[in-house]
Structure formats: C-alpha cells, structure tokens
Amino acid sequence: MQTFSIKNRRDRTIIGNLDIVPDQRGLAFMLHGVGGFKEQPHLRVMAQSFSEHGYTVVNFDSTNGFGESDGGLETLSATGNYEDLGDVIAWAGTQSWYAEPFVLAGFSLGSLCMALYAEKHPEKVKALAPISTVVSGKHL
C-alpha cells in the first residue's frame, strides 16, 4: 500500500491510501462518513475485499474531518466531501492504473457523495456500494 497526497480545488491537502494490485481487473474509490477516516476497520475490510478480487483501491480522508487531510470538522459539508471525491477521481485520471468504469463504495456521508457522483457521471461508474447511506431532502 502506498500513501498519496494531492491538493484539492480549495488548495487543501488530501491524504489517501492507494493499493495497486497486479493484474488489475478494476478500480474502486472509497470514502468514509462524518467523523470517519480511511483506516476505520469497516473500510479496511471493504478495501481488502476489493483488492482480493483484483481491484486497485483508492481510499482517502476527506478534508475537514478527523483524518490526516487538511481542515477541521467545524467546516465539514457534503459539498466539500463531494468536491474532494471529484478532485481525487480527477487526479487518479492522470495515473497509469486509472480505469473506467470504476466502483464507488462509501459509508454514511461518503455514500451520499458516491451516489451523487454516480448520478452525475453514470458513464464512469460500474457499480455503487453505499453502506448506511445518509439521505435527506425530497430528491434523495
């Protein structure tokens, strides 16, 4: 497993883990929920399952959370997490291991962001694994 660091559109640092598998069959992005971080046990189990099935896994701490990325919880928002997801996917698109369509897996608020991304970019998404999804509002 490798660690990566990128800047998001707001010039904040996003820290993530990257597990590139040999003979890659696909790509999966993962995102935690409010108060979560990339090394939580349930996310590690999900990442391991993807890796064991031939998927390169990108798992990152959103900004404004408890993880290693920049920002504090007082400025956490669904919009910010959604933008971080888009920025990580855009960065991944410049890497040799990038592949479409990819899988999106999230927990809680991370699932909401994944579902919104899939709704706006269905051609890029092979599958969606929303775990304990946050839902709110008449459109969700």
Distance from the Cα of residue 40 to its chain's centroid? 13
Query: 10, 87 in Cβ contact below 8 A?
Result: no
pLDDT class of 120 with cuts at 50, 70, 90: very high
Residue 140 reports pLDDT greater than 60: no
List of residues 6+ apart from 11 with CB closer than 8 A: none
Task: State the pairing for strand pair 13-19/2-7.
Answer: antiparallel
The pLDDT of residue 113: 93
Span 57-71, mean pLDDT?
Answer: 91
Residue 76 reports pLDDT greater than 90: no
Distance separating alpha carbons of residues 131 and 133, to the nearest angstrom: 5
Query: 77, 86 in Cβ contact below 8 A?
Result: no
Taking the C-alpha atoms of 101, 121, 84 and 94 in order, what is their torsion angle to the nearest 10 degrees? 50
The pLDDT of residue 133: 83
pLDDT in tens, 97-115: 999 999 999 999 899 999 9
Lowest mean pLDDT of 67-71, 102-106, 117-121, name the range: 67-71
pLDDT in tens, 5-35: 999 999 999 999 999 999 999 999 999 988 8
Q: Under the phi-then-psi rule, with left for phi > 0, alpha for psi from -120 to 50, and beta for the rest, what region is 129?
A: beta
